């Protein structure tokens, strides 16, 4: 069990006082579970300096705007791997795509959206896409990279290392070829299975190289899928054994005397794990201006597509069909007079004429028959 020292307890109270009047801080003790409360306190609470207490005051940057700034990191790590036993495996199997390769708007996958956000925010360097198996590699090797970014797909060959362990392994593999400045710049870490609606320019502008880490956060009090970690903090990851990011690395950074800050730059945090969270992530992306219809998608006259729906590349919605709050994935077809509501139609799948699809993942891949649906979970 994690125990707070007296110094840490003092800093928690100071942090809450500093955030007084902030809607996020007002909800800390009232609505968060013990685990998320502990995590949030770790994120926004930095160690108390005995010489200058204002030097390590908690940093919370809120709202959105046109803030821009350079990023000290030249390496970004996208955690895209999924284990067979994970909760997300069921959704990935139903759709025939790894979670991070799922279209999250009409044109791009979750991974591609994060790449675009990085590039637009001014990040330049190498993006290491960490996957769990060689089978997943094929889904990402043809990823279109924005100008200024290079992609390296890395298969995590060491099992049971945890997210923190994987980050440490990537760091050790690359730091020898880095300049001293690049080593101090650390890395940008992204959880590719989360909706990429974080205000990245604001996040990068909030990085303070004297700190140990900066966590992107959302207004719903949850991490928003992006984090910056200083080079000195990455050295705390052991070379062997399981090492968790949230439960071990963050507390280790705080215990070492480095500060950790949070930048609030997203409306809501959403991790894709099942049908409902996938559709919610799509809704968040559409709200941030992402495209709802691919350039080569076909919407025949007389069809209706409304709500938070996406119609992806090569997909067709025929005359008289109704699509509401749903995802029509690449190459799928919704035939005439069919109704698709709060559902996902997998790539290459045909919904027959007049068929009703509600609250489900429809059918088997490439088949006009309804079978193997995921249900309403």
Say how far apart CA 305 and CA 324 lie, in whole Å.
6
Number of C-beta neighbours around residue 287 at 10 A? 13
Confidence of residue 159 (pLDDT cuts 50, 70, 90): low
Q: What is the mean pLDDT of residues 73-100?
A: 80
pLDDT higher than 60, residue 12 = no
CA 198 to CA 200: how far, in whole Å? 6
Of the candidates 83, 103, 109, 50, the residue with the CA atom closest to the CA atom of residue 163: 83
- Same domain? For 191 and 263 the reply is yes
Contact by Cβ (8 Å): 201, 68:
yes
Burial class (CB in 10 A: 0-12, 13-18, 19+), 13: exposed
Structurally, the chain folds into a number of domains equal to 2
Contact (CB, 8 A) for 244 and 313: no
In a domain, 33, yes or no: no
For residue 52, being part of any structural domain is answered with no
Q: Report pLDDT for 145.
A: 84
Q: Do 216 and 300 belong to one domain?
A: no
Q: Which of 213, 207, 239, 300 shows the shortest CA–CA distance to 39?
A: 213
Whether 6 is covered by a domain: the verdict is: no
Does some domain include residue 94? yes
Instruction: Tell me how crowded residue 111 is: count the other CB atoms within 10 A of its CB.
Output: 26
What confidence score (pLDDT) does residue 262 get? 92
Compute CA 19 distance to the chain's CA centroid, rounded to the nearest angstrom.
26
Please give the structure tokens belonging to residue 305. Answer: 């597509």
Here the tokens at position 221 are 């009090």
pLDDT at 67: 41
Residues 113 and 164 in one domain: yes
348 inside domain? yes
Residues 202 and 331 in one domain: no
Q: Which of 77-86, 104-113, 197-206, 212-221 is predicted least confidently?
A: 77-86
pLDDT category at 255 given cuts 50, 70, 90 is very high
Asked if residue 250 is part of any domain, the answer here is yes
Residue 88 lies in a domain: yes
Give strand pairing partners of 130.
79, 154
pLDDT, tens digit, for every residue of 294-328? Answer: 999 999 999 999 999 999 999 999 999 999 999 99
Q: Which of 263, 287, 311 is the last residue of a domain?
A: 287
CA 259/CA 250 separation, integer angstroms: 10
CATH number at residue 223: 3.90.550.10
Q: Which domain holds residue 341?
A: 292-358
DSSP characters over 158-211: STT-HHHHHHHHHHHHHHTTS-HHHHHH-EEEEETTB---S-HHHHHHT--TTS
Q: How confident is the model at residue 103 (pLDDT cuts 50, 70, 90)?
A: very high
Q: What is the CATH number of the domain that holds 312?
A: 2.160.10.10
Domain co-membership, 97 together with 171? yes
Q: Which residue has the higher pLDDT, 53 or 215?
A: 215
Measured between alpha carbons, how far is 73 from 368 in angstroms, rounded to an integer?
Answer: 48
244 and 341 in a single domain? The answer is: no
Whether 245 and 105 share a structural domain = yes
Give the separation between CA 99 and CA 111, rounded to whole angstroms.
Answer: 9
Q: Which among 279, 201, 260 is positioned nearest to 57, based on CA atoms? A: 260
| Phi-psi label, residue 303: left if phi above 0, alpha if psi -120 to 50, beta otherwise | beta
pTM of the predicted model as reported, rounded to 2 decimal places: 0.77
* Over residues 120-128, mean pLDDT: 91
């Amino acid at each position: 069990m994690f125990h707070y020292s007296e110094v840490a307890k003092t800093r928690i109270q100071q942090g809450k006082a500093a955030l007084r009047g902030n809607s996020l801080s007002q909800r800390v003790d009232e609505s968060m579970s013990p685990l998320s409360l502990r995590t949030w306190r770790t994120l926004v609470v930095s160690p108390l300096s005995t010489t200058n207490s204002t030097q390590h005051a908690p940093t919370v940057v809120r709202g959105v705007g046109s803030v821009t700034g350079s990023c000290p990191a030249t390496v970004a790590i996208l955690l895209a791997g999924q284990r067979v036993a994970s909760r997300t495996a069921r959704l990935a199997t139903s759709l025939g795509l790894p979670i991070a390769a799922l279209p999250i708007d009409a044109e791009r996958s979750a991974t591609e959206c994060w790449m675009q956000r990085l590039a637009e925010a001014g990040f330049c360097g190498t993006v290491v896409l960490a996957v769990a198996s060689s089978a997943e590699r094929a889904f990402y090797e043809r990823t279109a990279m924005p100008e200024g970014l290079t992609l390296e797909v890395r298969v995590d060959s060491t099992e049971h290392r945890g997210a923190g362990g994987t980050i440490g392994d990537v760091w050790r593999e690359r730091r020898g070829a880095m300049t001293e400045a690049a080593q101090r710049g650390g890395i940008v870490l992204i959880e590719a299975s989360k909706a990429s609606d974080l205000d990245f320019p604001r996040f990068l502008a909030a990085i303070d190289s004297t700190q140990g880490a900066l966590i992107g956060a959302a207004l719903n009090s949850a991490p928003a899928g992006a984090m910056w970690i200083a080079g000195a903090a990455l050295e705390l990851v052991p070379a062997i054994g399981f090492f968790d990011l949230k439960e071990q690395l963050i507390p280790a950074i705080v215990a070492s005397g480095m500060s950790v800050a949070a930048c609030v730059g997203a409306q809501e945090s959403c991790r894709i794990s099942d049908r409902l969270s996938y559709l919610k992530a799509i809704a968040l992306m559409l709200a941030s201006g992402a495209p709802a219809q691919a350039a080569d998608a076909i919407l025949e006259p007389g069809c209706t597509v409304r709500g938070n729906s996406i119609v992806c590349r090569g997909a067709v919605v025929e005359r008289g069909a109704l699509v509401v709050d749903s995802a029509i994935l690449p190459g799928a077809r919704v035939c005439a007079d069919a109704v698709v509501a709060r559902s996902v139609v997998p790539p290459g799948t045909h919904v027959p004429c007049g068929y009703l699809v509600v609250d489900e993942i429809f059918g088997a891949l490439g088949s006009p028959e309804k079978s193997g649906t995921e249900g309403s979970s």
